[in-house]
Structure 1
Amino acid sequence: MILLDTTYVSPLLAETLINKKTTIFDIQQQVFLNRKSEEAQNPGDVFQQEELMIMNSEEAVQILNEYYAESNVTKMANLFKNKFAFRKRLADNYPHFFFLETTSAEMGQIDLNALPYPVIFKPTVGYSSAGVYRIEDAREFESIIGKLEETMKQSSENYSKGVLDSETFIIESYIEGQEFAIDLFFDENNNPVVLNLFARMFKDDKDMSDRIYYTSKLVLQSYLAAITEYLQGLGEIFDLRKMPLHVELRMNDKGIIVPIEINPLRFAGAGTTELGSFAYGVNPYEYFFEQRKPDWPALINAMDNKIYNFTCAEFTGEAKIDDGLLIHHNLLQEQFPHILEYRHIPYDKGTTFAVIFFSSDSLAQNEHILSLDFMEYVEQKEYFFVNK
């Protein structure tokens, strides 16, 4: 079944749900969309009957806590959503990894000069890159604390408290190395089944945006085996049978892997998981519902040498989708070397206004996209009132 946030349903997900005829629970209306009412009086009873569960938005975790709180799947989801609890659970595996939880009220009691810089500062419960900073020294930390209230106020307007907590934060070691995002599920034997492997590309060390994720034959050949082996170890720590996950981690030049976070019961957000369908023909939703494992050797062998990418075009500052803004999508599209699909994101709130899938011949071609100011393609509508 799927706990569906109907605010935005990507085209491939919509097509898959129609073809698979899976149970659909609308998290906004809190009703089943394809079950007879007499069969679905209590959502918790239906959840208990379902063998597979996935969601397309982290808002759905709140539904699980309301109707299905005592299940292993909900307990795992809550553990992974809380970044401090997740770090504590893995602390024995990473004895030299520094992490500290604090609140807005306690921030002034921290000895900022004693922190092992650089550090990452982010909400304990968060989503995407909202409220995430890389901090180099105490002076920079003081500057961020000074503007934290306003920054988190803007971010929390776009997400519920269950998705983004603007009061509690984690300070942790900066993880060196190449960053990756992996979509996967664990099978009935608690073994990982990787469906997507994306590398992340940054403009600079301070860039925390979801600007470019990419995949290619070379990425898969270089990293898939090592990352799959690492994920196997996660299955030995947690009971993750039949759970879909979006995992973010970093691998340094010595091959050492450290997890950044695990996002439960979903794949990459806003339909961006579908980059893999362009690159190597994997529909992640279909593979999950069928509990099917990709034939990676055959898929990789059939790939071309292009780089497949997505970027999220986002508002910056205080601009929001409901501010009466005019977006010049046609001009933005002209900035990309080869667009595979350009998707308007019709959120009535939030910061992402387009997801762009594109291919390139080299990472050097992507440098231009990293430097784009998306706000150059956004302008305030002018309204004229005529007296009659």
Structure 2
Amino acid sequence: MSVRSLSSLSILSLLAAAGAARAQDITIAVAGPMTGAVASIGEQIRHGAELAAEAINKNGGVNGKKIQISIQDDACDPKQAVAIANRILSAGIKFVDGHACSGSSIPAAEVYGENNILMMSPASSAPKLTDNAAKSGFTTIMRLYGRDDAQGRFIGPWIKENYGTKKIAILHDKSAYGKGLADVVKESLNAAGIKEVLYEGINAGDKDYSAVVNRLKSAGVEFLYFGGYHTEAGLIKRQAGDQNYQFQLMMGDSLATPEFWSVAGPAGEGTLFTFPTDARETEAAKGAMEQFKQINFVPEGFTLFSYAVIQAIAGGIAKANSTDPVAVAKTLRTTSVDTVLGPVSFDEKGDVKNPRYDINVWRDGKYSKLTQ
């Protein structure tokens, strides 16, 4: 049976599809920004989920049941994310691969947690996601991705060692993801005795950041850490280049998309970003990489994380011998499951254990691991 991708155009179509599949299949909703400014992230998680389900189904499914994928578009918007969560609830779907943006995941998790739907994010890194869930007593909110505080603790000492004598500025886009990551990096640097010369938020979605560039330039900024997404970062770097102003830009994991270079162009040369250690060359990813090759899709960014979420949910269902989300979540917290990222396990909050990071650099329109 092939994987069916269902749109979120209407609640009636979602209900009908879920109802038809319910007797023999396991439906997993894949929720993320399929449209909008960061639609490239949605494309990544969609492809990852669909190919994971395809591989699992070819191997007999989960406890004799096939996995069906239902694609849901939240456009990285909190209100749409809550609407999607309620739509998933009404359809009787019990498992969610998503959401991607932290600003969407956090409010949507309230709906899932209150109704015992297992949500596992492949991309959201804001600590509030699982922290809030734990405070509310929700046991079905999880993520197969490292938290911002882990990422901040990793990068803070590196920035100090390599750029501690430079004038450092920290900007963010005011989003749950961007500000959360910027705050963690600021805290890490300040604790290490490094004080930034500028810390402020910008307005995401603007096209002209010349005023921001002028403030950076006036402050003599030599190193900028930006918590946000690739579009704004690309514009800032390109517009700085237009003024012949050079500084070292560093960001978090959202920069793992070719769209950054399409916006920044040559001005993006040398831009740094952190991202979990690349699993594409590992033995665990070999089969998946062959699948992606067959459809001519490069599994960048969050693709393999979404693939792994589907595998983790399927593995939890198999080990629990149950499709009860509470039972599956409990099982995943007490055992490890094999994924395209290798064996993964989760802590009591539902966070993946022991995330690992690399520093990557953009050169000639491509990014790769930084070697020093």
TM-score for both structures, normalised by structure 1: 0.30
Question: Does 1 or 2 have the higher relative contact order (CA < 8 Å, sep 6+)?
Answer: 2
